[in-house]
Amino acid sequence: MTQTFFVTGTDTDAGKTLVSAALLTLAAGKKLHTLGLKPLAAGGLQTEQGLCNEDALLLQQVATLALDYQQVNPVILAEAMAPHIAAMHEGKRLSVAQLVGYTRGALMSRPGGVKPDFCVIEGAGGWRVPLTSTQTTADLAKELKCPVILVVGMKLGCLNHALLTAEAITRDGVKIAGWVASQVDPKMYAVEENLDTLKHLLSFPHLGFVPWLKNATPEAAAEHLSIEPLQL
């Protein structure tokens, strides 16, 4: 059975991609077959494969099962901004149903005839980022029916952001499988005190704390995380 988790953050640039890639690295170290997916990305660069997103490329790179880029990131928007605005600028329409279809198709794929054991699906921005005038990233996660891993970007204001996001996820009826603290501000004051407060106030399994890393590779981040609380 494939263990699939939706990764969301307390904000844009909270560290979702680094944490997702690190979790995939840990799972691969346990000899699990892994997939990393980013159904929707805003912000692209031109490559030999065409327009690609840097975060999606990293997920594709660290996964043990090889998927085409279009399966990893089926919808990419050129501008790095709120997806519904970027889509409007390009004359495109986003649809949760379409994103769900793409994602389920990738999850059912069998690269080389091998079934994935561990998969992370990285969201776009935070939990309530609009995708259309009536739908948000939360709707995508709810439709996919998989538990959430919450990445808390450690910076000033993170306590409020973390508690509000966790409350919203829970109210939406989605299980939080675990949370990760990711230091995104190298000069954050009272990091340990904030971390202790989050450990006290968040009742979900804590997968670890990724400090500020000068060399922020998935391997380096993985040294600070554990997937054991996910009960694989």
pLDDT at 231 exceeding the cut of 90: no
DSSP state letter for 78: S
pLDDT at 6 over 70: yes
Q: Which residues pair with 77 in a beta bridge?
A: 42
Q: Which pLDDT band, with edges at 50, 70 and 90, does 111 fall under?
A: confident
Instruction: Identify the active-site residue in 38, 145, 175, 187.
Output: 38
Is residue 184 within 8 Å of residue 154, measured between CB atoms? yes
Q: Which helix (DSSP H) or strand (DSSP E) does residue 136 occupy?
A: none
Q: Residue 63: CB partners within 8 Å, gap ≥ 6?
A: 24, 34, 35, 36, 72
What does the alpha-carbon distance between residue 79 and residue 66 come to, in Å, rounded to a whole number?
27
Number of domains in the chain: 1
CA distance 89 to 27: 38
Residue 216 scores a pLDDT above 80: yes
- Please state, in angstroms and rounded to a whole number, the distance separating the CA atoms of residues 92 and 36: 25
Residue pLDDT, tens place only, 112-150: 889 999 999 999 999 999 999 999 999 999 999 999 999
Q: Residue 90 in 3-state DSSP? A: coil
- Tokens 């880029």 label which residue? 69
Yes or no: say if 80 and 42 are a contact pair by the CB < 8 Å rule: yes
- Output the pLDDT for position 151: 98
Does the annotation count 38 as an active-site position? yes
Say if residues 154 and 183 touch (Cβ distance below 8 Å): yes
Span 26-41, average pLDDT? 97
Structural domain for 19, as ranges:
3-230
Q: What is the CATH number of the domain that holds 167?
A: 3.40.50.300
Of the pLDDT bands very low, low, confident and very high (cuts 50, 70, 90), residue 47 is confident
Give which of 12, 66, 8 is closest to 38, Cα–Cα.
8
Asked if residue 232 has pLDDT above 80, the reply is no
What counts of helices (H) and strands (E) characterise the chain?
9, 10
Task: Tell me the CA end-to-end span of the chain in Å, nearest whole number.
Answer: 10
Question: Would you give the DSSP letter of residue 123?
Answer: E
pLDDT in tens, 168-207: 999 999 999 999 999 999 999 999 999 999 999 999 999 9
Give the pLDDT band of residue 49 (cuts 50, 70, 90).
confident
**2 token code pair:** 């494939």
